[in-house]
Amino acid sequence: MIDFAGQCSYYSSHQIFLSPRAFFILVLNMKKKLLEKVGKEVCSQKGSIYEGWTHKDYLTFWTKSIHQYSSEKAPVILVGTHAEKKTKEEKEKFFREIWTSLETKDASLQNHFDRKRMFAVGFHENECIEKIKLSVVDVVQNLDHWGEKLPYSWAIFEKFFQEKKNLKIINRETLLAFNEALPQELKLEKDEDIKTMLQFFHDIREILHFDQESLREIIILDVQWFADAFKNVITDKNHAAEDLFKLASQWDKFNESGELSDTLLSAIWEMNNNGYLEHKDDIMLYMEKLGLLAKMEDNNWYVPCMNKKSFPAECFSSYPASSILCYVFDALPAGIFQRLVAICMQIPWKLNSSRDELCIYQTVAVFRFENHNILIGMTPTEIQLQMFVIEGEVDKSTCQQIKNKIDNILNILSETFHADSKFVFAFKCKATGFCDNKESSVINESEFIKPTFQCPYCPIGRKHTIKSKDITKYWIQVNDDEAEPSEDKGISKSSLSESSGSSESHPKDNFAKILKLLQVGTEAVRICFDKFFPKEDLEKTLKENETDMRRGQFRFLQPQLEILFPKQGGSNTSVSSLSMDVTIMYKLLRNFSDIAPQEMDGEKNLE
């Protein structure tokens, strides 16, 4: 049972404890209006991204954190306090407003709630407390892992972890030696069995362990001790002023920009005398993995959650720039952006600077790559990416190279604790600026399959036409000599010849169609194929699922349906012809769509 700290400084460390094998109780004060700003006595927000937040903002923040770091279906019990003297109608209105507030922009967050798990509690209302207890029992017994059978030898390892907890950290060799000393019937024989066991105890936060590169040999046994190591670093200003008087200027810089000197870090940990300095190298490796901080030049560190500098957009608006690419998440907590920036610093991409200050802000970081500058920013719902140059033109291949790198990082970040996190691509209308919080100007990538279209979001007095290629050319590789996407429907039969090496192959004829498919939701298509289209009976599956697919049950977009079910003379193709085309597309999705654009040579690669 974990009670999370309320101070906003600690929010970035909450991901450590948000387990996928958990349920959550979210408590709200029913006396407060959702749009009422939270009082300063609750959280010292000045200068932070949480400044001016309402109770609704915090509700969304906590639910997004659960959604992102635990799982997208982790159950939440919602408890409203201070319900005394409130009528039944007033209580219903309170919960209805919460439900409606999530529905507008974050409908996916509603999956965590159920009206049967919403309770209004006042003083001396023991009956309601009993209902909450029964709800807890019901929730626990319906968790996916309830009733799961585990090897009984794992209890021996749990006892081992607990007995060695005072060591704080052990290496993998110590664990392997313990395993070897066990009786044969309790010993884990395979390395894979040890990995599975470690993953389980990591998932329930008994330990922290990542089976990746340099982290593989390190097992953190005291998770709270590790979290406290970070909490001590981001100590509050009053405490720092008293205990770090001799390093006041260094701490002021850290408190403003998040730039932490190694001298200051050592002084903070030395004050607490909790063994942090003894394990410093291992602790820092794990903190870097979690994106809590990043190593900078001269052995200094960057702690994103401490940065309070606002982004001076006007300083960057006059340079030649690309269009703005958006990664739109189901739920985007600030921690994802902070971890992204920390990892980009480790690539390493050079941070830009303005005089003596690094161009790294609360919601935006500016990096240099060759002769290009990279803007990476965050709004409440998406991460944005834009390239600019000081003079000349933005190079499209460089944009695509950077995009692929960011894609990979975000995919890794979203899988640090669980693999359910999702994002889709979108683009910003050119009438709006980088990270200007005008979310309505973010246009889904599916709109850009049309050569031109009217901007759906700009007000009627400023309506304008968008040329798709002007926006997408920076981020999606298309042959320069390629015409606008063909209106011909489906992948032609020449593709069959093409895949079999026939002399009749015409890859260029099909290249635009395949790109068109890949640009409008490749991942959704692959998931559907993986789950619903068995290779051994593809033709039968396509025929049986056609109705559901056309209704959108499998989340296909219209352009994808047109490729899956091409029309000829107003009627559908035969199933045998269809299965031939789709079998080819299936193969292409498996073998082609994961190739990075810079590794492709257009029609030659496809052929």
Residue 562 lies in a domain: yes
Specify the pairing of strand 24-29 against strand 423-428.
unpaired
Residue 9 lies in a domain: no
Same domain, 276 and 226: yes
The Cβ of residue 596 has, within 10 Å, a number of other Cβ atoms equal to 14
Each residue's pLDDT tens digit, 466-480: 888 889 999 987 655
Structure-token pair, residue 45: 């927000």
Among candidate residues 141, 170, 200, the one where a domain is terminated: 141
Confidence category of residue 574, pLDDT binned at 50, 70, 90: very low
Same domain, 244 and 380: no
CA 50 to chain centroid: 19
Instruction: Give mean pLDDT, residues 296-319.
Output: 86
Same domain, 108 and 154: no
Span of 168-172, 353-357, 416-420 with lowest mean pLDDT: 416-420
More confident residue, 564 or 220: 220
Same domain, 563 and 498: yes
pLDDT at 8 over 60: yes
Helices (H), 414-521: 468-472, 494-500, 507-518
Contact 598, 404 (CB under 8 A): yes
pLDDT value at residue 132? 94
pLDDT value at residue 587? 54
Distance CA 302, CA 317 (A): 26
Residue 251 lies in a domain: yes
Same domain, 535 and 445: no
Same domain, 156 and 123: no
Instruction: Give mean pLDDT, residues 58-82.
Output: 89
Span of 42-56, 203-217, 445-459 with lowest mean pLDDT: 42-56
Instruction: Give mean pLDDT, residues 177-204.
Output: 94
Domain hosting 332: range is: 313-472
DSSP class per residue in 275-322: STTTTHHHHHHHHHHTTS-EE-GGG-EE-GGG--PPP-GGGGTTS-B-
Contact 605, 595 (CB under 8 A): yes
> In this structure, is the dihedral angle defined by the CA atoms of residues 322, 557, 498 and 569, taken in order, positive or negative?
negative
Q: What is this structure's pTM?
A: 0.69
pLDDT at 155 over 90: yes
Span of 362-371, 410-419, 540-549, 571-580 with lowest mean pLDDT: 571-580
pLDDT at 14 over 90: no
CATH at residue 449:
3.30.310.50
197-211 CB burial, b ≥16 within 10 A, e <16: bbebbbbebbbbbbe
Same domain, 318 and 418: yes
Same domain, 229 and 319: no
Q: What average pLDDT does the structure give for the chain?
A: 79
Instruction: Give mean pLDDT, residues 212-228.
Output: 92
pLDDT value at residue 439? 53
CATH at residue 72:
3.40.50
pLDDT value at residue 484? 43
- For the chain, what is the domain count? 4
Same domain, 82 and 195: no
pLDDT at 125 over 70: yes
More confident residue, 102 or 487: 102
Type of residue found at 270: E
Confidence category of residue 70, pLDDT binned at 50, 70, 90: confident
Distance CA 386, CA 406 (A): 12
CA-based angle 509:512:516, to the nearest 5?
145
Among candidate residues 108, 141, 174, the one where a domain is terminated: 141
Q: Three-state DSSP class for 6?
A: coil
pLDDT value at residue 504? 42
Secondary structure of 201-267 as H, E, C letters: HHHCCCCECCCCHHHCCEEECCHHHHHHHHHHHCCCHHHHHHHCHHHHHHHHHHHHHCEECHHHHHH
Residue 426 phi/psi, 5° resolution? -150, 170
pLDDT value at residue 401? 93
Looking at the chain, the whole-number percentage of residues with pLDDT higher than 90 is: 33
pLDDT value at residue 107? 73
Each residue's pLDDT tens digit, 314-341: 888 889 999 999 998 766 666 778 788 8
Each residue's pLDDT tens digit, 254-290: 988 889 999 999 988 988 778 999 999 999 999 988 8
Instruction: Give mean pLDDT, residues 473-494.
Output: 51
Each residue's pLDDT tens digit, 16-64: 888 888 999 999 999 999 889 887 766 655 666 777 788 888 888 888 8
More confident residue, 487 or 504: 504
465-469: long-range contacts (C-beta < 8 A, 24 or more apart)?
466/429, 466/430
Contact 377, 383 (CB under 8 A): yes
More confident residue, 341 or 420: 341
Q: What is the DSSP letter of 165?
A: G
Nearest to 42 by CA among 34, 54, 33, 60: 54
